Amino acid sequence: MVSAARIRVILRRVPILALAITVLTVGISGAFYTPAVAQEEESRGWSLRDLLFPRRSERIYPPPPEIQRAKPPKPKARKPRATPRPPAEPATPVVQKAADARTVLVVGDFIASGLAEGLDAAFAENAGVKIVVRSNGSSGLVREDVYNWPAQIKSLIETEKPAAVIVMLGSNDRQQMRVDDVREQPRSENWNKEYERRTDALGKAIASTKVPYLWVGMPPFRVAKMTTDMLAFNDIYRSAAESHGGEFVDIWDGFVDENGAFVISGPDINGQAVRLRTDDGINVSKAGKRKLAFYAEKPLLKILGLSAPGSVTTAAAPAGAPVEAPVPAAAPIEVDRTVPMLLSDPALDGGSELLGAAPSKKADKPGEKLAVERKASDASPGRADDFSWPPKVQPATAAAGSDKTTAINP
């Protein structure tokens, strides 16, 4: 137990300890509190409870003006920059087709429709040629229940009466084929035999109409297996077309790179890099359609008797048309040309022999004497090569009556 004397000593020292604690607390409060908070605490007074449980001000005071930081100005909203757009393609003038315009019939699947659009743009300025497309986007040679091309092509030709026919199909033919109530897998032996038979039947049907035709091959596709199948199909199309008087148009190189791989973008008909295919790797873009037509233009122009898509046909004139007299050939234009002259021409020095020929018997000119006899002519008086001493003086009479200075005196 604590004695009474010990308790009295502790009580005497409490005021001194409390005073020290008070001074320490005030100093710490002055260091950490803002002036406004310190003034509020002084007005409320201090108690021993504040030492153990300091009170917190319920009001949040803003920092004094001298330590307030200016807020940075908000950045001005910038106008979005205009994205440069590629220059618009010049609109191709469309010429009204003549009533007796010659028809080019395009048949096939959805790729053939793109070919027809490209040909329509190519012959837009030619009033004597019109492109007629009779394609079926889902058709081919496999699904005869969808559309039977060998059976329908004759009626289409009789209806349209075209001057030329263009065939392009095969994109939808990578599927099973029913042969004698059996579903054959694509590219199997029986499948290939039946496909060749149907392709041959289509070529024979077109040839029977006596209308010249082109068979445009298929392009590559993004899927490697599809590309391999298209290569095999093109060999079949080429054989069928050439066997029945048609012409096969190979477009493969226009849609692959230098290594023979499929490309989305490539050069257009003007050599500019453009997008040729769509994202699916199957369909053809607008520039690609024009490139398809570019490959078919040359053989088509040959059939139509044209020199260019916009030129007038040079085919036989209709019956009863007056025959114009042939235009006489223009007279040749005579051009006066200066004969070439060489500074080393022997004729300039009076000779007619080339270097190395036998020297003339008599050297009578200064140049000949120097070259043959190695004798230089006498220098004229006062000339730079006159080294005589005393110097020779030219006669006064000769100098007075002469308006010219001669370089060499004979």
- Domain boundary among the residues 304, 319, 340 is at 304
Verify that 186 and 43 share a domain, yes or no.
Answer: no
Verify that 119 and 30 share a domain, yes or no.
Answer: no
Which stretches within 168-272 are classed as H helix?
Answer: 189-207, 224-243
Please indicate, yes or no, if residue 382 is contained in any of the structural domains: no
Verify that 281 and 166 share a domain, yes or no.
Answer: yes
Q: Domain containing 253 — which CATH number?
A: 3.40.50.1110
CB 377 within 8 A of CB 369: yes
Verify that 194 and 260 share a domain, yes or no.
Answer: yes
Please tell me the distance from the alpha carbon of residue 35 to that of residue 57, in angstroms, as a whole number.
Answer: 13
Verify that 47 and 121 share a domain, yes or no.
Answer: no
| 3-state DSSP assignment of residue 183 | strand
CB 290 within 8 A of CB 276: no
Verify that 120 and 46 share a domain, yes or no.
Answer: no
Please tell me the distance from the alpha carbon of residue 15 to that of residue 37, in angstroms, as a whole number.
Answer: 27
| 3-state DSSP assignment of residue 41 | helix
- Which H or E run contains 48? helix 48-52
| 3-state DSSP assignment of residue 21 | helix
In the numeric block, which tokens belong to residue 143? Answer: 């699904």
In the numeric block, which tokens belong to residue 219? Answer: 């392009």
Verify that 27 and 166 share a domain, yes or no.
Answer: no
Please indicate, yes or no, if residue 8 is contained in any of the structural domains: yes
In the numeric block, which tokens belong to residue 241? Answer: 């077309």
Please indicate, yes or no, if residue 408 is contained in any of the structural domains: no
Verify that 38 and 187 share a domain, yes or no.
Answer: no
The structural domain count of the chain equals 2
Please indicate, yes or no, if residue 255 is contained in any of the structural domains: yes
Verify that 170 and 30 share a domain, yes or no.
Answer: no
Tens place of pLDDT per residue across the chain (410 aa): 556 666 565 656 556 666 666 656 555 555 444 454 444 545 556 666 666 666 655 445 555 665 555 556 666 666 666 655 655 556 666 789 999 999 999 999 999 999 999 999 999 999 999 999 999 999 999 999 999 999 999 999 999 999 999 999 999 999 999 998 899 999 999 999 999 999 999 999 999 999 999 999 999 999 999 999 999 999 999 999 999 999 999 999 999 999 999 999 999 999 999 999 999 999 999 999 999 999 999 999 999 998 887 666 544 434 334 444 454 555 555 555 555 555 555 555 555 655 565 655 565 666 677 777 777 777 777 777 777 777 766 655 444 444 444 444 44
Please indicate, yes or no, if residue 270 is contained in any of the structural domains: yes
Q: Against a cut of 0.75, is the pTM above it?
A: no
Neighbours of 249 (CB within 10 A): 23
- Which H or E run contains 226? helix 224-243
Verify that 212 and 133 share a domain, yes or no.
Answer: yes
- Domain boundary among the residues 304, 326, 349 is at 304
Verify that 161 and 223 share a domain, yes or no.
Answer: yes
Please indicate, yes or no, if residue 380 is contained in any of the structural domains: no
The residue segments making up the domain with residue 42 are 4-57
Verify that 45 and 122 share a domain, yes or no.
Answer: no
Query: Smallest Cα–Cα separation from 142: which of 110, 186, 96?
Result: 186
- Domain boundary among the residues 57, 73, 93 is at 57
Q: Are strands 265-267 and 129-135 parallel, antiparallel or unpaired?
A: unpaired
List strand residue ranges (DSSP E) for 341-401, in order. Answer: none
Please tell me the distance from the alpha carbon of residue 392 to that of residue 380, in angstroms, as a whole number.
Answer: 9
Please tell me the distance from the alpha carbon of residue 40 to that of residue 57, in angstroms, as a whole number.
Answer: 9
Please tell me the distance from the alpha carbon of residue 161 to that of residue 46, in angstroms, as a whole number.
Answer: 115
Please indicate, yes or no, if residue 25 is contained in any of the structural domains: yes
Please tell me the distance from the alpha carbon of residue 273 to that of residue 267, in angstroms, as a whole number.
Answer: 4
Please indicate, yes or no, if residue 182 is contained in any of the structural domains: yes
